[in-house]
Chain A
Amino acid sequence: MRSRGFGSFISAVVIAGVVLWSFVTTDVEMTRLAAAGPRIAEFLGRMFPPDPSVMDEIVRGSAETLRIAVIGTLGAILLSVPLGLLASGTMAPPAIHRPVRTVLAVIRAIPLILVAMLMVGAVGLGPLPGIIAVAFHATGMLAKFYAEAIDGVSPAPLAALESAGAGPLARLRHAIWPQMAPVVARDTIFRFELNLRESLILGIVGAGGIGFYIQTYVRSFQYDKAASATLAVVVMVVAIEAFNVILRRRFS
């Protein structure tokens, strides 16, 4: 008890120290913060009304983001099926599934935007580095989910089909797959939603999509156009959510 109390005291001191250090060493001029109010208001004012003349570019950018997310997700699925099998405790021995799981954890730890920057360096500007980055980054999570879906299958129905004399393929089709399918569908849809959200900003590093236009407008002080693009992003995110809710209902 005593040592635990002491432990939390130490934690509190460390946290307080870190917060204090951040304030003291950061170059935040409180006077500027006070003067910022009118400037932010002016900035917001220049965003209105949003400029609809860039509709074409926005639609094109959004479509490209959607394509990056769709193809990137497909790539992640293709990678995740074999890696999920290798990462599952029921399908692969520890000598295989342990290292595979570690690799997946490392992949998950690398932020998408970082992978995208590296890929832009490797294959040049455009949607291709975005697609590769999304596929790579999403595999870290999706393969782990697939492995968990395989490991979550109840063995009892499998034993029942074995007892009835069903072969391995029939067991896979009629005992394993019906148990896995809803989990796989749910996880894949979930990951697709994340991919779409995350790929909205890929254009900022030159990896294609609507983010590229937003960045261009902001850099050239065309805030009304940036506002239109931002609205398009909001519409897309809401649409994805609605779509996701419908799909989830179907697969429950």
Chain B
Amino acid sequence: MSVAAQIDDVSFAHSSVDAPALAHVSLSLPAGGIVALLGPSGAGKTTLLTLLDGRLRDWRGRVSVLGGSLDPDYPPPRALRPDTGFVFQEFALVERSTVLRNVFNGRLGRMSPLRAFLGSPTERDIQVARSALDDCGISDLADRRVDSLSGGQRQRVAIARCLAQEPRLILADEPVSNLDPTRAAEILTLLTEAARARGATVLFSSHQPELARRFAQRIVGMRDGRIAFDVPVSDLSEDAAADLYRDAAQMSGTGLKVVT
């Protein structure tokens, strides 16, 4: 399989909102590749990633992910869901549970329903969770409760949970927006290295063109629910990236998160 995901002419609008969050979007993700998604706030990045994760309803168009096509009316079968891993913009961790519990949560889709309910992992679950913790450099935090962690540590837990899922496609929604520049580069390094080691495809969204340039092979620019450009890193001009944000700032007044 040379394509991890394929989107053809997909449109979508949130209910009670007139402006579409996705407008005639087409995109293909090469298997094993690392692609960055740039775009200002409200561009539709989270919506696009949620679509690929099979959690969006009532869209129009065609989408296939890891060889199976998605149905706009039904969630994908549960057996296939662990294959696509999602790193949430606001982490979406269970605050009162320990780091280890949260990482095991990523394994729930791989366990039998009874084991999942009881929360009793097998040897293999434990091994996979341990190596995810290890790769994210948080083995020593395993027994800490999430509500006692810093933002950077939470980000690592969120990524470890995703890796524990053993996904073949990793969708990471602004995995470094909450971090200082050094920490951001560290996190993207571990995310992309872990993905490479596992042969997984990565699509990550970001507001930082220089990080996209450094870690991705291809960069997709989004604005107002449309694909503004879709180019290899070497072809991305400074102006194209800057325009993406400048235009949006003038039009919607939402302002910029990070442009350096």
Contact = CB atoms under 8 A, between A and B. Distances in A.
B93 A169 contact: no
Nearest to A181: B96
Contact of A166 (B55, B79, B108): B108
A45 interface: no
A33 interface: no
B96 A178 contact: yes
Interface residues of A, number: 20
Given A161-B105, A163-B53, A170 B92 contact: no
Contact of B94 (A163, A165, A169, A175): A175
Contacts of B105: 157, 160-161, 164, 166, 174-175
B82 A165 contact: yes
Interface in A163-217: 163-167, 169-170, 173-175, 178-179, 181-182
Interface in A22-72: none
Contacts of B107: 164
Contacts, number: 83
Contact of B86 (A163, A170, A178, A181): A163
A165 B109 contact: yes
Given A161-B108, A163-B81, A170 B117 contact: yes
B83 to A, nearest CB: 9
A164 B106 contact: yes
B88 A182 contact: no
Interface of B: 53, 55, 75, 78-82, 84-86, 88, 90-97, 101, 105-111, 113, 116-117, 119, 161, 165
Given A156-B92, A164-B165, A166-B105, 17 more contacts: A156-B88, A159-B55, A159-B92, A160-B88, A160-B92, A160-B161, A161-B105, A164-B85, A164-B107, A164-B161, A165-B109, A167-B116, A170-B113, A174-B97, A174-B105, A179-B96, A182-B96
